[in-house]
Amino acid sequence: MAQTLKGADVVIIGLGAAGGIACLPLAEAGLEVVGLEAGTWLTRRDFAPDEIRNNVRDWPQAVQKANHEVPTHRANASAPTTRAASHPMMNGVGGTTLHYWAQSWRLNPWDFKVVSETTRRYGRARIPAESTVEDWPFGYEELEPYYDKVEWETGVSGKAGNLKGELDLRGNVFEGPRQREYPMPPLRGTGFTDLMAAAARGLGWRPFPGPAQINSRTFQDRSPCMYHGYCNRGGCHVDAKNGTNVTTIPRAQKTGRFRVVTRAHVTTIDVDARGRVSGVRYVTDGQEFVQPARVVLLGAYVYENVRLLLLSKSKAFPDGLSNNHGQVGRHYLSHATGASVTALFPFDLNTWYGLPAQGVAVDDWADDNFDHAGLDFIGGGNLWIYSDRRPIQAANMNTFGRAPGWGAQWKAFIRQSADRANTAYLQKTTLPYEANYLDLDPEVRDPLGFPVLRITADYRDNERRIAAFIQDKMEAWYRAAGAIDIVRGPLGTMGPNTHAYGGTRMGDNPETNVVDRWGFSHEVPNLGILGGSVMGTSGAHNPTLTLQALAWRTADHLVRSWKSIAE
Amino acid sequence: MISRRDLLKVAGAAAAGAATAGAERAALPAGAAPAAHPESLHEQSSPRRPLEALTADEADLLTAIVARLIPSDPSGPGAVEAGAVTYIDRSLAGPLSSSREAYRRGLAALERYATLSRGQPFRELSPTDQDSLLIDVETGGATASGAGFDGSSAAFFAMLKAHTWQGTFGDPYYGGNQGFVGWAMLGYPGVRTAVTPDDQRLGARPVPLRRSAYDTDLFNKA
Ligand SMILES: Cc1cc2nc3c(=O)[nH]c(=O)nc-3n(C[C@H](O)[C@H](O)[C@H](O)COP(=O)(O)OP(=O)(O)OC[C@H]3O[C@@H](n4cnc5c(N)ncnc54)[C@H](O)[C@@H]3O)c2cc1C
């Protein structure tokens, strides 16, 4: 028998990057908030610099939920379905901000206006016909105050490149105008990233240190970064990574109005006779609980957001909650981060230490920062070079055709070359398409017996052309810095991704969007949705700062409009 | 689990053994294949701590295989000295238990394949024949031999290689990388909890720190 608990003003499902932000403005405004989190608290003692545990075995120290419900994938409706063995999203208080890279980017103003800006500059015909892309319901300026808030409340290190319209070459001159500097200077450079920056300037490009949600100096009484090299899928042993677990969540708890419930695995969102959300059901150790709430905010990451909606069927919503327009699961995209470029240098790079957020970026070929008139695609990519290498990873390096993969020759190669290769991280614009979507898998179920999500998605020409273009640029950059050999990786498939978008897209038109411009359901007024599932475009930069800014904005709106939303 | 003191003992022994082996082999002409007599392999791996998952025969075969994957040679010790087999054995008794059966079948198939294709058990083949056999297994060429590989022999090889690399280059806490021979091979300067700007300069050579993440008392054990 389900046990019904005392009601709350707001229930947040999932305390990750997004849910972990929304709790703070709500609790500070005086609302009683309950956060239901499938994982547990993890602390610095759980964050050993241990490649086997963190990278090879995928965090056995944490609750295993994401790994037990990995979505299936097929390229299109008639392609075979496959399923990956694991998915690296985290289940814990703080969510994936516990072990993510913490690159903390704003989107480019162009990303909010892909349709209108492309049409204005190149003509409507340049938008791929099968794409369902729309302009966001607002522009960059609307989100700027919230970007600023998250940067200052959590702590982001970086260098402004556009301070109220004043450009500064030491920062990103392509970014939208910001109202003030970052709260901390950028993470320091390394010998290798400095070398790469100089090579980029030599090409006439404008390199700059990337923004990181990591302390470059003491901030809010927490330590600066130690650059120890285990940040990539590792937690921070000195709490210098500003995940929601050490920033907004503890502060919300201090108000006395935010209750964190761990090991609470939400299975359904309930609705009342009027079609409004009445609360949620969750399971802890086989016991079912009902947590009534006047407002529910769903922030369980893209795949689980969509799955929970599709699983929450009722009389009012026979095809899943908020899905009477058939838009849940549509306009799905995942960031094209494949098509890697790896370079071999004739000297040691000394990148054994550092972190994936300690690096140098080039945005000259991102978004619409360059003229596309003579090109056959729109959008572009961010080039990112960083200092990060762990021993098992190093021993698995590409041998550039210079040695076999094992044996005495391999050993001779690795002894010389383990510290001589570097792989760039290349994030590229990805568009939503009519035939790319999420639904429930008809066969595969999770350990509780619920269907897992199914991804039907494939890249199109626009993504493939960007990939080839960006690989050319990256190769030129490496060669300018002295690389003697280059290998290129394939673009890959659109299987489960750590940068997923859409499925509950935000927009004014309820025929094509699930949530309104504030993040609340068009169909269910007291249901808000947090995370990348509301984003309709990817841009060429990681999503988290943007979805955190959106989460703060949604929470602010809820506070301002409490009466009309909750009553 | 093994105590810290045990670990030091084993590491010390492995390092000492490696030094002797290295001295002996230094007499070989450059590029010569290292000795791979079953006897000497046996000596290197004994006295072996009690096996946790593998049988003694499986462990011996695995030892002979990893000796070819990352050989000990004049440049330094390899996967055997690192204790890759100990790592695999222990992991199969714990977090990798779901792969136990794949090892049983894969090793048996590899041994059958040695007899079928080369007329002798793997450990009695010359190093060159061992290598050529392993190439068959790696490429999937051994799959259709009737030796009994589950699916492709390439899948077995890929798993075995991945685990050998983990056992050679991972944290010694898990039983491999004894005497830090894997980290020395790569030139990895070791686990530090704080890194200075100087440590990150081009051309800098941070003093190698040889310790496990769990040698400090900062972290809960895995
Ligand atoms: C290795 C890695 C590196 C990354 N690096 C970067 C980076 O550098 N920069 C960047 O911007 N982005 C990065 N990302 C992506 C980033 O992690 C995500 O964009 C972000 O975490 C998404 O926020 P979220 O709140 O939607 O999901 P999450 O942060 O994953 O939080 C979701 C939370 O919901 C909980 N949950 C899920 N289902 C339920 C349920 N049914 N009931 C209760 N709780 C539930 C989960 O346990 C989790 O705590 C990285 C991701 C990974 C995996």
User: What is the C-alpha to C-alpha distance for residues A411 and A403, in angstroms, rounded to an integer?
Assistant: 9
Residue A312 has phi, psi (to 5 degrees) of -90, 80
CB-CB neighbours of B17 under 10 Å: 18
Omega of the bond prior to B47 within 30 degrees of 0, cis?
yes
The CB of A54 under 6 Å from ligand 1? The reply is no
Torsion of CA A364, A365, A366, A372, to 10 degrees: 120
Buried b (16+ CB within 10 A) or exposed e, A360-376: bbbbbbbbbbeebeeee
Q: How confident is the model at residue A567 (pLDDT cuts 50, 70, 90)?
A: confident
CA of A128 relative to ligand 1 center, distance in Å: 30
CA of A65 relative to ligand 1 center, distance in Å: 12
The CB of A18 under 6 Å from ligand 1? The reply is yes
Continuous segment of H or E residues that includes residue A454: strand A451-456
The CB of A23 under 6 Å from ligand 1? The reply is no
Q: For residue A265, is it left (φ>0), alpha (ψ between -120 and 50) or beta?
A: beta
Q: How confident is the model at residue B222 (pLDDT cuts 50, 70, 90)?
A: confident
Q: Is pLDDT above 90 for B8?
A: no
Residue A410's closest chain B neighbor by CA?
A: B70
Domains in chain A with CATH codes? 3-69+88-566 (3.50.50.60)
> Tokens representing A34?
């309950």
The CB of A13 under 6 Å from ligand 1? The reply is yes
Q: What amino acid occupies position A166?
A: E
Q: A461-508: per-residue pLDDT in tens?
A: 999 999 999 999 999 999 999 999 999 999 999 999 999 999 999 999
> Tokens representing B136?
């068959």
CB-CB neighbours of A445 under 10 Å: 12
pLDDT on residue A108: 98
**Residue of B81, B192, B200 to mutate, testing the A interface (most A Cβ within 10 Å of its Cβ):** B200
In total, the C-beta contacts within 8 angstroms joining chain A to chain B are 146
User: What is the C-alpha to C-alpha distance for residues A428 and A425, in angstroms, rounded to an integer?
Assistant: 10
Q: Is pLDDT above 60 for B20?
A: no
Q: A385-416: per-residue pLDDT in tens?
A: 999 999 999 999 999 999 999 999 999 999 99
**Residue of A44, A239, A353 to mutate, testing the B interface (most B Cβ within 10 Å of its Cβ):** A353
Do A419 and B73 make contact, defined as CB atoms within 8 angstroms?
no
CB A252 within 8 A of CB A292: no
User: What is the C-alpha to C-alpha distance for residues A240 and A243, in angstroms, rounded to an integer?
Assistant: 9
User: What is the C-alpha to C-alpha distance for residues A99 and A520, in angstroms, rounded to an integer?
Assistant: 29
Continuous segment of H or E residues that includes residue A83: strand A82-83
CA of A37 relative to ligand 1 center, distance in Å: 12
pLDDT on residue A232: 97
Residues 6+ apart with CB under 8 A from A302: A500, A501, A502, A503, A531, A532, A533
Least confident of A9-13, A53-57, A538-542, B19-23: B19-23
Do A49 and B193 make contact, defined as CB atoms within 8 angstroms?
yes
Residue A438 has phi, psi (to 5 degrees) of -115, 140
Mean pLDDT over A82-92 rounds to: 97
